Chains A and B, each alone.
Chain A
């Protein structure tokens, strides 16, 4: 035994902070992707929501098969009524004042609303991710400009902003190539995208700022990687979780924003299409006269869809960010 005692010696083993949360990490080495799927599946409401949402999406996509009548097809008189007839075998959800089948119109409307939601989410995610990543990485003027503008925009009531921007953009003739006709689907999608991308940009910027200081980014920078390479190879793959979560939230945001506009009469012109927002706007007039079916069915389907997407987003957040608590 020749060992000499070295009193100042330091054995830096990792510290002993052990708790139930970490126990999970000790279990086995599972790939991050599978861990995410596992955590998502633990969020039961998110799983149920995903199934319900997929069912709604399929019904809506297969509208030519799943509907019973055309979008603006007027039914022949039901009983002695040629409009506003309550639910019956001929029209499961009843009919509106022009005697159009509400059940079919909800499905047709869902096509429009989901299309808008997904289109806006995709556009604003692409733009938002690009701008957010560059702003976070470069800092400086672009970053300041992004933050100040979004601060300003986020502070004002959404409806007020939407209305002001809508009227402004529709008056600028030289923007017509981008917006198309006033109150067309394209107009609404572009308008909502302009408002939505900023939220994504802020989220991505935050993620990039925190990732930027991490060693693997520093290392690749030290090795001479360009900004665009760092963004493509490191930042975006590592911030894919928050981006997907904000994408789902953007779907909800866009569907709700469109229906808000429609509710106040600034939505898609019925000449082009009828969205869920349009049906909700019709529901407004049906309340006082007590035509409950015109209120209950569109509202129920609308809220159910929003709720499902929100729960899916919540489940995804749990899946990608294990630190958040996962109780629902």
Chain B
């Protein structure tokens, strides 16, 4: 990557202590996101994709143990003082959530909620901040922004609420925008509009976007690069075209096969369930569900290695490609 990454994770780990031991939710994730890039993070429930970025933002419960490194614009956040993290989030890194209704404070008007975001990082008068909030609402495509700013969240539709969340997140021109399943709770038609807004924001503000989703279809539409996560680790990282045409991990292959194809072929769901994160298996965590599993899958550190222009954690990738199994 030519430019300095705006977000950089190295060996990022999150665990939650429970009575039965630590649940290892994230087990060493690396990721570099360049300026203005749109990176998709894909994985199923419990793969640690949301936990990773909530951890970066410092939004996990206090009991969460976070190690490794997470840098935003070169500023290390793991182990940083609360004030440092606070000054970075909302300013350089902002986040939008899955359910915009519960993510907005129900008893405050929309305008003041955005103004609060602006004023906590900029010394700006209240009227100027209100003015700016209205511009932001306009920018994300909310009609009559002046009137709408005086309304409460419950007076908005789902898609409009998500636009409000986006307006709030970009209030301070963040360099990184983390979108945690922003379209999952929305209707398909509204999804497309929200994706369009996010892409426009990315272009116009030159913000890098980390797009977390379990929906490969959505990823295909917006992302430049994709990182596939499984059981708290990255299993494949590739450009979007590579990933869809030549996946280099059996799990990615499985995800693609479980997409409904236009041709009418029946879906092939991945058999089995993700492993218990209390005692994740050593070696490849996917091997219990993998049709290509072999003895050597139980060994190794499963780091990503370059292969055919992608990066993969599969140790048998060479053999599988030769066999034509992928």
**Are A23 and B277 CB-contacts (below 8 A) given A3-B256, A6-B217, A6-B259?**
yes
Cβ contact within 8 Å between B64 and A20: yes
**Are A8 and B217 CB-contacts (below 8 A) given A13-B45, A23-B18?**
yes
CB of B20 within 8 A of chain A? yes
> Which chain A residues border B277 with CB–CB below 8 Å?
23, 26
The interface bits of chain B over 163-181 (1 if a CB of A lies within 8 angstroms of the residue's CB, else 0) are 0000000000000000001
Count B-side interface residues using an 8 Å CB cutoff.
Answer: 43
* Complex-state Cα separation, A6 to B262, whole angstroms: 6
Cβ contact within 8 Å between B61 and A11: no
* Complex-state Cα separation, A213 to B302, whole angstroms: 46
**Are A26 and B217 CB-contacts (below 8 A) given A14-B44, A17-B50?**
no
Which residue of the partner chain, among B20, B181, B216, B278, contacts A16 with CB atoms under 8 Å?
A: B181
Cβ contact within 8 Å between A9 and B260: yes
CB of A327 within 8 A of chain B? no
Q: Interface majority SS on A: helix, strand, loop or mixed?
A: loop
The interface bits of chain B over 25-67 (1 if a CB of A lies within 8 angstroms of the residue's CB, else 0) are 1000000000000000001111111110000000001011000
> Which chain A residues border B190 with CB–CB below 8 Å?
none
> Which chain B residues border A215 with CB–CB below 8 Å?
none
> Which chain A residues border B258 with CB–CB below 8 Å?
11
> Which chain B residues border A11 with CB–CB below 8 Å?
214-217, 255, 258-259
Cβ contact within 8 Å between A6 and B245: no
The interface bits of chain A over 6-34 (1 if a CB of B lies within 8 angstroms of the residue's CB, else 0) are 11111111111111100110111000000
Cβ contact within 8 Å between B217 and A13: no
Q: Interface majority SS on B: helix, strand, loop or mixed?
A: loop
Cβ contact within 8 Å between A16 and B50: yes
Closest to A7 in B: B220
CB of A5 within 8 A of chain B? yes
Closest to B253 in A: A3
Which residue of the partner chain, among A1, A6, A7, A16, contacts B246 with CB atoms under 8 Å?
A: A1
* Complex-state Cα separation, A9 to B98, whole angstroms: 19
- Mark B residues whose CB is within 8 Å of A: 16, 18-20, 23, 25, 43-51, 61, 63-64, 98, 181, 184, 212, 214-217, 220-221, 244-246, 255-263, 276-278
User: Can you add 15 more A-B contacts, CB < 8 Å, to A20-B16, A27-B278?
Assistant: A4-B262, A6-B260, A7-B217, A9-B217, A10-B259, A11-B255, A11-B259, A16-B50, A16-B214, A17-B45, A18-B51, A20-B18, A24-B19, A26-B276, A26-B278
